[in-house]
Amino acid sequence: MRGDTIIVEDHHRRAAAEIVPALLPEIRESAGKYTISVAGESGSGKSETATAIADALAGEGIDSVIFQQDDYFVYPPRSNDRARRKDITWVGPGEVRLDLLDEHLNAFRGGAASIDKPLVVYETDSITAEDMPTAEARVAIAEGTYTSLLENVDTRVFIARDYEQTRAHREKRKRDAAELDPFIDEVLKIEHAIISGHRARADVVIDADYSVTAKG
């Protein structure tokens, strides 16, 4: 999403430094492209962790691309906020074109040289498009709240931090004053009820203290 603020800190890099070495054998042994999802609640550090993983992969000579779920919302941010305030039952996976994101991950796996994807422009509350070059990338990372639900994913990473634990990060990021008002707390409670069940789908869990646990 154009206009987003991503602040990669030491704890994101420490988590990536544990995750990437564990995935390297599988990535290098795979015949084709490899896909990773990074999911969790709002403000849990999904974008930052995805960026840290991409940086760690680059350090191993592996190129990657990042797909942000924010670009796949049905409505751009402020319009989506209005839709939620009009009908709070709008909150949930239905806000996002997960089918399209899954289609794009499948195209990546199939060796697409580039992918014509949506691009949200936060400042103008609009959705445009961009052509993402993917030919040179070995790995695609899809990051976003509901990306655990995607099917075309080889490894699912889940950040186990709830909306109360992420408040400080959301305040630091603070895209808009509305993001921290009482209504948003109600949105985050709904999201928490949905997303907490997605931990069971994860292959790798990043705990609240950013320690890493591989399942299985």
Domain tally, the chain: 1
CATH number, domain of 112, equals 3.40.50.300
User: Which residue bears the tokens 């069940």?
Assistant: 197
Beta strand ranges found along the chain (DSSP E): 34-40, 64-68, 114-121, 126-133, 139-143, 155-159, 204-206, 212-214
Q: Taking CA 132 as the corner, what is the angle to CA 60 and CA 179, rounded to the nearest 5 degrees? A: 90
The answer to whether position 2 is within a domain reads no
**According to the model, what pLDDT value does residue 182 have?**
84
Q: Taking CA 200 as the corner, what is the angle to CA 170 and CA 57, rounded to the nearest 5 degrees? A: 65
CB 118 within 8 A of CB 75: no
Residues contacting 191, CB < 8 A, separation 6+: 41, 42, 91, 92, 145, 163
The answer to whether position 165 is within a domain reads yes
The answer to whether position 82 is within a domain reads yes
- Please tell me the distance from the alpha carbon of residue 153 to that of residue 89, in angstroms, as a whole number: 28
90, exposed or middle or buried, with CB in 10 Å at 0-12, 13-18, 19+?
A: middle
Angle between helices 46-59 and 10-29 (to 10 degrees): 50
User: Which residue bears the tokens 């990669």?
Assistant: 8
Bridge partners (DSSP) of residue 10 are none
The answer to whether position 105 is within a domain reads yes
- Residue 2: DSSP 8-state: B
Tell me which residue range forms the domain holding 189: 10-214
The answer to whether position 5 is within a domain reads no
Report the helix count and the strand count for the chain, using DSSP H and E: 6, 8
**According to the model, what pLDDT value does residue 139 have?**
98
Q: What is the pLDDT along the chain (216 residues), one digit of tens a residue?
A: 676 778 899 999 999 999 999 999 999 998 899 999 999 998 899 999 999 999 999 999 999 999 999 999 999 999 999 999 999 999 999 999 999 999 999 999 999 999 999 999 989 999 999 999 999 999 999 999 999 999 999 999 999 988 776 666 556 555 555 555 789 889 999 999 999 999 999 999 999 888 999 865
The answer to whether position 127 is within a domain reads yes
The answer to whether position 1 is within a domain reads no
**Global pTM value:** 0.91
**According to the model, what pLDDT value does residue 163 have?**
73
The answer to whether position 19 is within a domain reads yes
Burial 105-140 (b: 16+ CB within 10 A, else e): bebbbeebeebebbbbebeeeebeeeebebeebbbb
Structure-token pair, residue 95: 């806000």
DSSP of 18-77 = HHHHHHHHHHHH-SS-EEEEEEESTTSSHHHHHHHHHHHHHHTT--EEEEEGGGGBSS-H
